[in-house]
Chains A and B, each alone.
Chain A
């Protein structure tokens, strides 16, 4: 597959799957304000998905559009990181997954602002305002839960530890990522990872949380289409309608 197409699918699929995961919490948030915040973040990510997958579909040139890309590709064809497929769990799990994602996402969008691909730079410019908002919010919640009660502290620390092994995949560059770096399309992994670790450390210190070991072994495979069991269930729910009633519209 074309390296740029792979790169675009990775961005689009990350936003798509995390959006779907957050949407599942609609009407189930722990408080009304949290419920609305989660679905607003999901909506932002869905909008970003359309921009990425729309570009990917055009580049692919097979007459598909962003809806086809979202609803008619199987798990092996998706290129999202394993992090976004992890279950919503308890609220600490949901927010820690979000915080790791938002931190990486924020620094990536910042790096993509100067992409040599004008369309990617435009998408990043549009997205970063929203992503900044997401990161401020998830960072705030990590601090509130970490520096909250003994129970909230224990839960968010457990989430931080359990999800840590999924936090590094985005920084493990393969041939497609490296080709994009070589063309000036994408920022290098080293600068992104350094910024990520610095911000996580800063927030964890404020949240009285213990930072997991940055040198720990990291899970990998999602970016190449080798997913966890969770993704199949996510797609089964998300794609059901288009699979059962092809071409159905509102």
Chain B
């Protein structure tokens, strides 16, 4: 067993909130290493209060146990902080197919109030409707059903949809 094998197994572990995307495609798995007999998997939370993290940790352990890796150790790493830039193209396509518009732009450093990201001067990305593809869409709410999503509506096909925010 090598780390590439473990990575590929983890690539089959689905995100509990958005089951079409794997935790690897979401960018949550940061490292796989071996320490003696133990397989050490480093994961990072998307948002600090994300209730899915507990389930994800359990899923990782279960998935590896099922493949005969009995000694699994999980490390929760905060830094560097997770960003949507770590989401794979496969993952973005899966979101799109599931009806969630994927993050549209490279996440800028959002931790500044000044210098390019001054209040009000924030660039609003052009978000395409995952149902009909139109970019004639409108933000309904900055916050959606989970911390990682915003609510949009399509002005062409009139469907409401979720947008996975840049973070």
Contact = CB atoms under 8 A, between A and B. Distances in A.
Given A125-B81, A128-B111, A40 B45 contact: no
Interface string B55-85: 0000000000000000000000011110000
Contacts of B51: 43
Given A37-B141, A40-B147, A123 B78 contact: yes
A128 B142 CA distance: 17
B86 interface: no
Given A36-B143, A132-B111, A125 B79 contact: yes
Interface in A37-86: 37, 40, 43-48, 50-51
Contact of B111 (A50, A110, A121, A137): A110
Per DSSP, are chain B's interface residues mostly helix, strand or loop, or mixed?
loop
Contact of B80 (A32, A110, A125, A140): A125
| Residue of B47, B48, B50, B81 contacting most chain A CB atoms (<10 Å) | B48
A83 B6 CA distance: 48
A121 B45 CA distance: 16
Given A122-B78, A122-B79, A47 B119 contact: no
Give the contact-size bracket for chain B.
20 to 34
Nearest to A203: B119
Interface in A1-58: 32-33, 36-37, 40, 43-48, 50-51
A211 to B, nearest CB: 17
Contact of A47 (B45, B79, B113): B45
B147 A44 contact: yes
A104 B58 CA distance: 36
Contact of A126 (B78, B112, B140): B78
Contacts of A137: 142
Nearest to A123: B78
A240 interface: no
Contacts of A129: 81, 110-111, 167
Given A125-B80, A140-B119, A51 B113 contact: no
Contacts of B147: 40, 43-44, 130
A51 B143 contact: no
Contact of B49 (A33, A37, A47): A47
A133 B49 contact: no
B122 interface: yes
B113 A199 contact: yes
A33 B110 contact: no
Given A36-B143, A110-B111, A130-B147, 14 more contacts: A33-B143, A40-B143, A44-B47, A44-B48, A47-B45, A47-B50, A50-B49, A121-B79, A126-B45, A129-B81, A129-B110, A132-B110, A136-B122, A199-B113
The list of the 7 closest CB pairs from A to B, nearest first, reads: A47-B49, A47-B48, A33-B141, A43-B49, A122-B78, A122-B79, A40-B143
Interface of A: 32-33, 36-37, 40, 43-48, 50-51, 106, 110, 121-123, 125-130, 132-133, 135-137, 139-140, 199, 203
Interface of B: 45, 47-51, 78-81, 110-113, 119, 122, 140-145, 147, 151, 167
22 contacts: A33-B151, A36-B151, A37-B142, A43-B47, A44-B47, A46-B49, A47-B47, A47-B50, A48-B48, A51-B48, A122-B79, A125-B80, A126-B78, A126-B81, A129-B110, A132-B111, A136-B113, A136-B119, A136-B122, A137-B142, A199-B113, A203-B119
